[in-house]
DNA sequence: TGATCGAATGACCGCTCGTTCAGTAGCCTG
DNA sequence: CAGGCTACTGAACGAGCGGTCATTCGATCA
């Protein structure tokens, strides 16, 4: 049973993390200040330091929290499908749906791909956030490798292929989030999946 | 005929821009300080302000300068090839070669894709740097459109396709620049081109 | 009801950064 | 060679940041 204090604690942490996500989404990683996050959350600056050691930890926990939600969705997508093309469809659909529902997270996600700041900042970022990204790339590379082993797709460097596909699809998602109005999710999922499978070359009949 | 003053002026501007590019490459956009750029260029902090109005202008001009070099290379690649697959090969080769030779620029290039900072900063960035990026995407989208019209490739949304391919290939280049040692340029160009043309699906014989 | 407590606050501190400008060094000119 | 002119310098400044902590004040309890 959770004590009253624990409930309040969790509520505060969540409120601050949500605020952090919105501010980072607006201003970007580097320009999001503690003051603005505090204002957004409706608390004083000092309060944030009751729940997070420093700015670094706040960003990290915020990222971690949203990231594990996304990974969960993707794991589901992978688990519930057998064939490669189904898996790809499901993963792309999960990503688009997730980022549409959590637009704020997207900016944070993008900011953390390439480390910035002082040498020390960069080291910390590489240690904490980049592994999650690498992990995700590797996960996708593994799926590609399996499909190659099963003969479902042709053999190429799975890691490079994973990078290409993930970043390519991220670009489409970014475009969707910036467009005033987007086509329905299904048609973009179709577009991405068919491009991945067959490329752009025209061919007789399938 | 250029006067002596003009030559000196241009030399200083170039020296400072080169230094800016190296520092941004090391530290990232947000953490690159005027002091460090000045040190790198071997001039005093104040000198920079004789040639650039403010930090913003320095970054902008630096970006502009390197970007037009890249666009030139790509224009050449497009002009000297007729068929779609040749164009794609040539463009990808040009990009990889350029970024390998100008690794410094790559970080700057990546930093400016998504606007950061205050609302005002974001507006300025959108006005100056993003158009160049959009321009490039549009240029590639036009090539795709032409290829579709000529029946060389199948019909899909050219803008989305352009985004996917550009970001996907950017990811490969980023990987190349981070790897301790990369495969030769040709094999990555082959990889990218063949993926774009035919996707990953296994098929009988071409 | 008054005493106690600790969560929340925001003025404050030290620091870094972009920007300025009074001063300097070196070169051209008469 | 004197005198001025200009390109350059770097100490100084002020804005704005992350982080601290003495103070406040509403909830809780005897």
Q: Which residue is nearest to nucleotide C16 (CA to C1')?
A: B33
* A167 contacts chain B (CB < 8 A): yes
Cross-chain Cβ contact A200/B161 below 8 Å: yes
Cross-chain Cβ contact A117/B197 below 8 Å: no
Cross-chain Cβ contact A195/B170 below 8 Å: no
The number of C-alpha atoms within 13 Å of A31 and in the hemisphere containing its C-beta is 17
Smallest CA-to-CA distance from A28 within B9, B30, B66 is with B30
pLDDT at res. B25: 85
Cross-chain Cβ contact B172/A151 below 8 Å: no
- The SS3 of residue A143 is helix
> Given B29, B165, B191, which is nearest A160 (Cβ)?
B191
pLDDT at residue B29 above 60?
A: yes
What does the alpha-carbon distance between residue A174 and residue A178 come to, in Å, rounded to a whole number? 6
What is this structure's pTM? 0.88
pLDDT at res. A120: 62
Cross-chain Cβ contact A153/B197 below 8 Å: no
Cross-chain Cβ contact B29/A192 below 8 Å: no
Q: Go through chain B and tell me how many residues it has.
A: 206
Phi, psi of B192 (to 5 degrees): -60, -50
Taking CA atoms, what residue in B is nearest to A145?
B200
Question: Over B115-148, what HEC string results?
Answer: CCCCHHHHHHHHHHCHHHHHHHHHHHHHHHHHHH
pLDDT at res. B2: 54
> Given A116, A154, A202, which is nearest B154 (Cβ)?
A202
* A156 contacts chain B (CB < 8 A): yes
Q: Which residue is nearest to nucleotide D19 (CA to C1')?
A: A54
- The SS3 of residue A201 is strand
* B72 contacts chain A (CB < 8 A): no
Which residues in B lie closer than 8 A to residue A159 (C-beta atoms)? 175
- The SS3 of residue B201 is strand
Q: Which nucleotides of D are covered by protein (CB under 7 A)?
A: 7-12, 16-22, 28
pLDDT at residue B117 above 90?
A: no
pLDDT at res. A109: 84
The two three-digit tokens of residue B113, written as one number: 């894709």
- How far is the alpha carbon of B73 from chain A, nearest alpha carbon, in Å? 22
pLDDT at res. A3: 62
A172: pLDDT confidence band, cut at 50, 70 and 90? very high
- Please state, rounded to an integer, the average pLDDT across all residues of chain B: 88
Model pLDDT for residues A18-75, shown as the tens digit of each residue: 999 999 988 888 889 999 999 999 999 999 999 999 999 999 999 999 889 999 999 9
Q: CB atoms < 10 A from the CB of A198, how many? A: 18
Which residues in B lie closer than 8 A to residue A30 (C-beta atoms)? 29-31, 116-117
pLDDT at residue B206 above 50?
A: no
Which residues in A lie closer than 8 A to residue B95 (C-beta atoms)? none
What percent of chain B clears pLDDT 70, i.e. is strictly above it? Answer: 96
* B29 contacts chain A (CB < 8 A): yes
B125 vs B151, higher pLDDT? B151
Tell me which residues of chain B, numbers 119 to 138, contact chain A at a CB-CB cutoff of 8 Å. 121
* B83 contacts chain A (CB < 8 A): no
Taking CA atoms, what residue in B is nearest to A157?
B191
B120: pLDDT confidence band, cut at 50, 70 and 90? confident
- Residue B171 · residue A166 · CB < 8 Å: yes
Region B66-90: what's the mean pLDDT?
90
Task: Give the CA angle between residues A65, A68, A70 to the nearest 5°.
Answer: 115
- Residue A163 · residue B171 · CB < 8 Å: yes
């Amino acid at each position: 049973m959770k004590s009253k204090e624990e409930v309040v604690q969790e509520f505060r942490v969540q409120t601050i993390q949500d605020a952090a996500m919105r501010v980072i989404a607006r201003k970007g990683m580097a320009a999001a200040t503690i003051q603005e996050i505090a204002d957004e959350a409706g608390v004083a600056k000092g309060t944030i330091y009751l729940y997070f050691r420093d700015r670094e930890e706040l960003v990290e926990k915020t990222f971690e929290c949203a990231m594990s939600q996304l990974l969960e969705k993707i794991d589901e997508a992978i688990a519930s499908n057998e064939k490669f093309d189904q898996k790809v469809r499901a993963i792309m659909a999960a990503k688009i749906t997730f980022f549409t529902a959590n637009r704020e997270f997207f900016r944070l996600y993008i900011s953390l791909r390439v480390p910035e700041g002082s040498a020390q900042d960069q080291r910390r970022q590489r240690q904490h956030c980049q592994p999650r990204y690498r992990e995700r790339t590797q996960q996708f590379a593994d799926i590609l490798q399996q499909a190659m082993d099963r003969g479902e797709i042709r053999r190429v460097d799975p890691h490079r292929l994973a990078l290409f596909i993930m970043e390519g699809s991220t670009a489409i998602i970014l475009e969707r989030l910036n467009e005033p109005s987007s086509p329905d999710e299904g048609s973009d999922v179709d577009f991405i999946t068919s491009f991945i499978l067959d490329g752009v070359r025209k061919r007789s009949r399938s």
